[in-house]
Each structure stands twice: as structure tokens, then as C-alpha cells.
């Protein structure tokens, strides 16, 4: 079953992102730049590189760890993962680090998220997609970024530089509910499709956020606190 995107007003840095549509399951959070990284140094879940002169690259990883489309094989390139692999215990800690390595001749080096043109498994590889399976391989749900996002390269080379995508507040709640209703030990895979590419390669790593994204209940408390502060400020102005 595929869950429809749910709109979220998400704060995102302008650098590295242009013309972001208003609705998506996976939303851009910020950009990071790490040193001394490489394929395999981070928990790389997808290595994607188009064949020949194609300007669209599309592929992903299946539940059994095999790859399809333009995804590269190898244990250090494209793999499945669990929360235990990342040492996380909350959906608010999960993020995907999208790292582009487009040719320097582009100005700026960039790709665009797109729907997959593949004849098979396209639903697992649209835009940037996080796929969720039970521990026995039953497909549970997927969460995808919006189409038409222009992703600008953060730094040259593969590894730890890139754009961080997280689940929206509504999708965090959905995934948490799904995991609570299943036996646990869910297995995750990643797929992606990028248009306007010039050869790549691109990688997507699963990472643990040092500062978790606030969960829906936290957002509610924050809004209530802001409202209370506004009420107190108005009373003080009236008393003055």
C-alpha cells in the first residue's frame, strides 16, 4: 500500500535546493559537509549511476539486498538496513543523506527528482523513496520526496557531503504506528530517480541524526508555548 504525500510547512535552507513543491513525505532539512568520507565510510544504501548518455538514472534495492535499474551492487554501495544498524530507536532520528557527484562542467552541478521510468519496481524508485518491509519481507509502505526538486551538489566527491532528507511530522507518526503494529525489526531499502543528470554517480546514505527532528507531539507543545507567550505579552501591554 502506498501512502499519499501529506503537506508540511518545513524549514529548509535555501542552499542546495530550489523550487521545492509544497507536499512530500520526505522533506529536505539542511545540508552537511563532512571530511574524509567515501563510499562505504557512511552507511551507503544506494549507489546510482546512469548508463551511457542517458540523462535519467533510476534504480534501487530490493528486500533481499539485490539491486535493480541503474543501482550499483556491492556490500559497500547498495544495501538494506534496520534501525539497529544505525543505532537508533526513534523514527525522528532517521535521515537520508543525498550526495551528488555530477561533473564539474555543470554550472551548478545538479539533478532533479523525477518519477521512475523503469518497467518493473518503479514504485520503489520514484524521486527519493524510503521503502519499509516487515522482517519477513512483506511490503508495508513507502515514503517519497516530491517530484521536480532541483538538488544542487554540496561539494565535490562522494562520501559525507550532501542534502539531508527527513520524514515529515505526519510521516513520522505513520511509520511509528506501522512499526508498533508489526513484529519489529523492519527492513528498509532506498530507491531514487534523478533527471537532468550528467553521468553521476550519486549516493544515498542512511544516517542517525545527532539532534532528532521533533515528533508531532513536540510540535504541538511548541505551538502551545508560543501561544502562551503571546498571551502574556498582550496582557502586559494592556496593563502598561
By the 10 Å C-beta count (0-12 exposed, 13-18 middle, 19+ buried), 164 is classed as: buried
User: What is the pLDDT, as a whole number, of residue 123?
Assistant: 96
Per residue in 190-213, pLDDT (tens digit) is 999 999 998 878 999 999 887 654
pLDDT at 152 over 50: yes
Grid cell digits, residue 111: 539533478
pTM: 0.76
Helix axes 169-181, 216-239, angle to 10 degrees: 140
User: What is the pLDDT, as a whole number, of residue 181?
Assistant: 92
Half-sphere exposure of 34 (CA within 13 A, CB side): 18
SS (H, E, C) 107-164: CCCEEEECCCCCCCCHHHCCCEEEEEECCCCCEEEEEECCCCCEEECCCCCCCCCEEE
Query: d(Cα 162, Cα 28) in Å, to the nearest integer?
Result: 11
Q: What is the mean pLDDT of residues 221-238?
A: 49
Query: d(Cα 239, Cα 42) in Å, to the nearest integer?
Result: 57
Q: Which of 112-121, 140-149, 159-168 has the lowest mean pLDDT?
A: 159-168
Q: Which residue has the higher pLDDT, 74 or 19?
A: 74
Domain ranges of the chain: 17-209, 215-240
Identify the band that residue 121 occupies on the pLDDT scale cut at 50, 70 and 90.
very high
Angle at 188 between CA 145 and CA 91, to 5 degrees: 70
Amino acid at each position: 500500500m502506498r501512502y499519499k504525500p501529506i503537506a508540511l510547512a518545513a524549514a529548509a535552507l535555501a542552499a542546495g535546493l530550489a523550487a521545492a513543491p509544497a507536499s512530500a513525505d520526505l522533506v529536505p532539512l539542511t545540508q552537511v559537509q563532512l571530511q574524509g568520507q567515501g563510499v562505504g565510510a557512511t552507511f551507503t544504501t544506494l549507489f546510482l549511476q546512469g548508463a551511457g548518455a542517458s540523462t535519467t538514472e533510476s534504480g534501487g534495492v530490493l528486500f533481499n539486498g539485490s539491486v535493480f535499474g541503474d543501482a550499483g551492487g556491492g556490500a559497500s554501495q547498495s544495501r538494506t538496513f534496520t534501525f539497529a544498524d544505525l543505532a537508533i530507536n526513534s523514527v525522528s532520528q532517521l535521515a537520508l543523506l543525498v550526495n551528488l557527484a555530477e561533473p564539474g562542467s555543470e554550472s551548478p552541478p545538479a539533478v532533479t527528482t523525477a518519477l521512475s521510468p523503469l518497467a518493473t519496481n518503479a514504485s520503489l524508485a520514484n524521486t527519493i523513496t524510503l521503502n519499509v518491509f516487515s522482517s519477513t519481507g512483506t511490503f508495508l509502505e513507502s515514503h517519497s520526496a516530491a517530484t521536480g526538486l532541483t538538488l544542487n551538489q554540496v561539494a565535490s566527491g562522494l562520501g559525507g557531503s550532501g542534502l539531508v532528507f527527513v520524514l515529515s511530522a505526519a510521516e513520522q507518526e505513520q511509520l511509528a504506528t506501522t512499526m508498533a503494529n508489526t513484529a519489529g525489526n523492519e527492513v528498509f531499502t532506498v530507491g531514487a530517480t534523478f533527471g537532468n543528470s550528467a553521468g553521476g554517480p550519486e549516493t544515498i546514505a542512511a544516517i542517525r541524526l545527532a539532534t532528532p527532528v521533533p515528533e508531532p507531539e513536540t510540535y504541538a507543545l511548541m505551538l502551545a508555548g508560543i501561544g502562551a507567550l503571546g498571551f502574556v505579552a498582550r496582557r502586559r501591554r494592556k496593563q502598561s
